[in-house]
Amino acid sequence: MPLMMKGLMNMDPWRSFKGTTWRQRIDVSDFVRENYEPYYDTPTFLSGPAERTKGLWDKCQALMEEERKANGVLEIDTKRVAGITAWGPGYIDQDRELIVGLQTDKPLKRMVNPWGGWRMVEAACQARGVEPDPDMKKIFTRYRRTQNEAIFRIYTPAMRQARHLGLITGLPDAYGRGRLIGDYRRVPLYGINFLIEEKRKDLYSLDNVDDTTIHLREDIADQIRALERMIEMGQSYGCDLSRPAASAHEAVQWLYLAYLAALKEQNGAAMSLGHTSPFLDIYIQRDLAEGKITEEFAQELIDQLAIKIRLIRHLRTPEYDELFAGDPVWATEALGGMGEDGRPLVTKTDYRWLQTLRNLGPSPEPNLTILWSPRLPQAFRDFSVELAIETSALQFENDELMRPIFGDDYAISCCVSATRTGHDMQFFGARVNLAKALLLAINQGKDENTGEQVLDVPKLDGEYLEWDQVWSNYEKVLTWLSVLYSRTMNCIHYMHDKYNYERAQMALIDSNPHRHMAFGVAGLSVVADSLSAIRYARVKPIRNDQGIAESFEIEGTFPCFGNDDDRVDGLAVKVLRHFFASLAKQPIYRNAVPTLSILTITSNVVYGKKTGATPDGRQAGKPFAPGANPMHGREKNGVIASMRSVAKLPYEICRDGISYTFSITPRALGENTEERVKNLSRLLDGYFGAHGHHININVYSRETLIDAMERPELYPNLTIRVSGYAVHFTKLSKEQQQEVIERTIHERM
Amino acid sequence: MGRIQSIYSFSTVDGPGARTVVFFQGCPVGCIFCHNPDSWNFFGGEEISVTDLIRRIDRFRPFLPSPPGLTLSGGEPLAQVEFAAEIGKKARAEGWHVAIDTSGYGSKADFARVVKEVDLVMFSIKHPLHPEKITEIKPEPVLENLRCLAELRVPVWLRYVLIKGWTDQPEALKALGNLAAKLPNLRKIEILPFNGLAENKWTDLGWEFHFTQDQKPVVTEEDIKAAERIVYAQIKAYRASTACTAMRS
């Protein structure tokens, strides 16, 4: 592998590239704009799997099967602390690996990452029957404070209570917050030496005026250190990252090693790759034109990059797995989209990424995301939709909605959250449970499960729930919650920056980036339907002796979210507007701009478990619908009506993304493949035209899922989309599987 | 004004392509295998004007491939003849491809009135010989409308629900073939399996479902193919015999 690098040492890495601005300063967007070639044609040029890569993948699959048999974890390295240069080089099968680099020295071997918190490490190790190294424990409990410890020291009693009751959940207070996307393209384009020079300029341009600038200067100094480590790590693999990449092979390799540096250092929940295909395509096209590589080789580069991404593992606790099963990393790669100059950003490499699903089989990772526009080339629309139907592994997001806000060089952080590559960062804010908040409004501010007093809310009088009273209480609870929530976030991210700073990723982002505070909500459709029941039917709470409503009797009917009925859809919007307006008034750490997501991934099951019966008729402990989805079985008017309801949720306040998961049987989508592609493309146009933001596409039958639950060994690659990402169905917990099966799968008999 | 049970926004099994389906409220036919028994009551459902209905389905239009499809189903659309004809007329004027899903049970005048306003008639034959055994209706009015259909130029799909032990007799299938053979504008025959999935809809209404758990006759794909073979063979035989007759005369 280092062979090819040597041969290129004397070549001008920027030969035949056009444009000037990007040469003077870091501006990858300008480089891409000046040099990429849109591709308008059909996928007929694509290559199937190459022998070498197929052999490599077979080996990986065998390893993954071993991992599955070992209850999901093959090996843990308990001796070393995660870091960019913690391990020497590791290989799967050196002769077959075109793209090298592993998180540790062996595939699927997991790192211990104590920076986030020691208890998490211990719990995760013990759950797997191993003990972490005693010296390491000593360091991270006695001498070095962790993010987790620091946060818990300054949590207020109210924050701890909201956390343990499940009112504010999924908080990144014990592991990496993730969600950052380094502009990994900078490494192949400029080489790290240049990036260090630029960072030094930034560092020296600032003086230690006040705590804000000192903080920033320390950040930049840390970033420079990470860049130096990246060079060192590259050297161990025989790659000279200090200089720009001179070939397609090097470009893919450099990009991956930059991403790998982040993965070696951070165990963030979501670590997107970015929107790299037009960039990589420039290098591939140049090598093809120079006659240096073939299409088969070009495809191999992307296939092998995909393989590496499919092998990413982090050490997690069983509680984490209960929230997010199946080792998700949300290595999201955005494809498609339109350039601001009117040319599609679709290149042959976008097709090559999609082709990995055929060459290697469907898989949740990388989380391939199509930035959809009605103006995308027809052939690309057809191909991506065809693959979505074939694999249930793709998600689509509305480029027409995001581009005006984020420009055309944005990527998707995690699942649905647009980020300007290299210019933005975000503070991941998990989410609050809106349904539990509603129960506080009904139960005088007492938690419905424990009876604990959480806040003071006026008592509701009368046998039935009165709309005016409930809404007035709910507004009070939401306002109170927005204060508590934003302060909890401030405290988490202050400490995260201090004790678990993502220097490798931040080194590939502008020194003083635009920051978002990404708040989130769960249980929106439960709340909308509950409010609708209170408003349009008669709801009688059945209260226990503490005055807590344990169940609800509903008399009459009420409109449910998901049926294109403005009466209830408007209630969902009303809740979002109130909550966001109140969040936006709160002071936010580092002047971050607040955004909001409606996203749960698989955590809707756990949130439901922690929530008592709700006025919509949902029983205590039952799962919520995922993300922004209507509740299971309440969509009576078919998929378009469901899509229209979701599309009414306002993106202007939910800029962190609105996740909608759509499942349909093949027959209900159309009689044959051609019809299905036509129908689904049109549904996407309709949904996005109505300002829908995101959609997961699942095309399968319930019977397939039930069979896969009973005979998982027959379905190792069955991939399904949950809220915002994809998973291997068989890696979900039984409860999560059951919930997926109970979801609305659109069909008409 | 008319009464509808519901509007289903996206279906690929109620006519060609992807379509919106309007289920009419009220049906006099009373099939024992009905999938929508809650649509029988003429006083149930929701009252809606043609204009409002068109406005509502227009919201679904950008999601449907062109031309957008609309199917009037039920319930029995023929039972609200003016309403059905008005919807057909207005929707077609706005570019919808309109189909009607009907049992054909109604007066000849009503039938002709509606059929003139649609692009496709999906004619559900309940039983070509003895509909009274599985419905509340006699064969004659339906057969008359079927004859009327042969004279009109509108394309026709024949639909037939195959119920084991009830509608799968070879003589019934042959009779169906004969009826089909007489339709010059026939585009398709759909033989649909009875799946008995509507049981809870019947019990929700407090009615007894004819096909309870243990008596649910299962129709396999093979059964459907066998039935199709009989029907197609009969159509061929019928056409051959009429061709011979024509040659002889």
Does A679 contact B7 at a Cβ distance shorter than 8 Å? no
> What is the structure's pLDDT at B193?
87
Q: At A464, which amino acid appears? A: Y
Please determine, for residue B127, whether its predicted confidence score (pLDDT) is greater than 70. Answer: yes
**Per-residue pLDDT, A1:** 44
The single residue listed with the structure tokens 């999906």 is: B122
Report the alpha-carbon distance of residue A107 to residue A99 in Å, rounded: 13
Question: From the candidates B7, B10, B14, which should be mutated to test the interface with A, based on the most A CB atoms within 10 A?
Answer: B10
Contact A679 B12 (CB under 8 A): yes
DSSP B136-196: S--HHHHHHHHHHHHHS-S-EEEEEEE-TTTT--HHHHHHHHHHHHT-TTEEEEEEEE---
A400-431 per-position pLDDT tens digit = 999 999 999 999 999 999 999 999 999 999 99
pLDDT category at B247 given cuts 50, 70, 90 is low
Query: Scanning every residue of chain A, which has its alpha carbon at the shortest distance from the alpha carbon of B62?
Result: A686
Q: How far is B159 from chain A (nearest CA, A)?
A: 14
Per the CB < 8 Å rule, is B13 touching A749? yes
Asked if the Cβ–Cβ distance from B10 to A638 is below 8 Å, we say: yes
Nearest chain A residue to B19 by CA distance is A679
B-chain residues near A701 (CB < 8 A): none
Nearest CA in chain B to A677: B65
Closest CA to A345 of A37, A27, A30: A37
Beta bridge partners of A594: A517
Is some CB atom of chain B closer than 8 A to the CB atom of A432?
A: no
Residue A724 is predicted with a pLDDT of: 59
Could you read off the pLDDT of B153-181 as tens digits, one per residue?
899 999 999 998 889 999 999 999 999 99
Q: Which residues of B touch A669 (CB under 8 A)?
A: 12
Helix (H) or strand (E) segment spanning residue A296: helix A295-310
Q: Do B195 and A749 touch (CB under 8 A)?
A: yes
Chain B positions touching A685 (Cβ under 8 A) are 62-63
Residues in B closer than 8 angstroms to A748, CB to CB, are 8, 11-14
pLDDT in tens, B210-227: 887 666 677 888 999 999
pLDDT, block means (10 residues), chain A with 749 residues: 52 96 97 98 98 98 92 93 97 98 97 94 94 96 96 98 95 92 98 98 96 97 98 98 98 98 93 98 98 98 98 91 81 97 98 97 94 98 96 95 98 96 96 98 98 97 96 98 98 97 98 97 98 98 96 97 97 98 97 95 86 98 94 91 97 96 90 96 98 93 82 72 72 81 72
Interface test with A, best of B5, B8, B12, B39 (most A CBs within 10 A): B12
Mean pLDDT of chain B: 91
Question: Would you name the residues of A annotated as active-site residues?
Answer: 414-415
Residues 6+ positions from A134 with CB-CB distance below 8 Å: none
Asked if residue A366 has a cis previous peptide bond (ω within 30° of 0), the answer is yes
Cα-to-chain-centroid distance, residue B239? 24
Which class for A158: exposed (0-12), middle (13-18), buried (19 or more C-beta within 10 A)?
middle
Whole-number pLDDT of residue B215: 66
Chain A residue with minimal CA distance to B195?
Answer: A749
Å from A369 to nearest chain B CA?
21
Is residue A702 within 8 angstroms of chain B, CB to CB? no
Which residues from chain B sit within 8 angstroms of residue A683, using beta carbons? 10, 63
Q: Which of A637, A646, A663, A695 to probe by mutation at the B interface, max B CB count within 10 Å?
A: A637
Q: What is the CA radius of gyration of chain B?
A: 18
For residue A95, count CB atoms less than 10 angstroms from its CB and return exposed for 0-12, middle for 13-18, buried for 19 or more.
exposed
Q: Which of A372, A640, A643, A703 to mutate to test the interface with B (most CBs of B within 10 A)?
A: A640
Query: Which residues in chain A have their CB less than 8 angstroms from residue B59's CB?
Result: 564, 640, 644
Closest CA to A742 of A601, A622, A638: A622
As a whole number of angstroms, the distance between CA B127 and CA B132 comes to 8
Task: Calculate mean pLDDT across residues B67-86.
Answer: 96
**Selection from A152, A73, A143 nearest residue A109 by Cα:** A73
Q: Which residues of A touch B34 (CB under 8 A)?
A: none
Q: The tokens of A563 are what? A: 């049926």
Q: Provide the pLDDT for residue A3.
A: 44
Chain B: which residues have CB within 8 Å of chain A? 6-14, 17-18, 20, 35, 59-60, 62-65, 195, 197
Structure tokens at A354: 């999609």
What integer pLDDT is reported at residue A253 of this predicted model? 98
Do the Cβ atoms of A636 and B6 come within 8 Å?
A: yes
Name chain B contacts of A382, Cβ cutoff 8 Å: none
From the CB of residue A354, how many other CB atoms can be counted at a distance below 10 Å?
A: 26
Pairing of the two strands B120-125 and B156-162: parallel
The answer for residues whose C-beta is within 8 angstroms of residue A216's C-beta and 6 or more apart is A206, A511, A512
Residue B102, min C-alpha distance to chain A (Å): 17
DSSP state, A415?
T
H/E stretch holding A369 reads strand A367-372
CA distance A643 to A687: 6
**Are B60 and A640 an interchain contact pair (Cβ–Cβ within 8 Å)?**
yes
The answer for A 382-401 residues in CB contact with B (under 8 A) is none
Does the beta-carbon distance from B12 to A689 stay under 8 Å?
no
pLDDT digits (tens, 9 = 90+) for A535-545: 999 999 999 99
Residues in chain B with CB shorter than 8 Å from the CB of A637 are 6-9
Q: Residue A5 has what pLDDT?
A: 52
CA separation for the pair A746, A749 (Å, rounded): 10
Question: Which one of B6, B62, B195 has the shortest CB-CB distance to A686?
Answer: B62
For residues A495 and A501, what is the distance between their CA atoms, to the nearest angstrom? 9
* 8 Å CB contact of A678 and B65: yes
Strand partners, A70: none
CB contact under 8 A, A690 and B62: yes
Which of B166, B241, B174 has its CA nearest to residue B211? B166
Our CA-based measurement puts residue A743 at a distance from the nearest CA of chain B, in whole angstroms, of 18
Cβ of A687 under 8 Å from any chain B Cβ?
yes
Residues 608-637 on A with a CB inside 8 Å of B are: 636-637
A381, containing H or E segment: helix A378-391
pLDDT given for residue A68 in this prediction: 87
Residue with the two structure tokens 């059945």:
A542
State residue B216's pLDDT score: 66
> What are the residues facing A334 on neighbouring strands?
A369
Which of B7, B17, B18 minimises the CB distance to A637?
B7
State how far the Cα of A723 lies from the Cα of A629, in Å rounded to an integer: 9
Contact A748 B14 (CB under 8 A): yes
**B197 vs A contacts (CB less than 8 Å):** 749
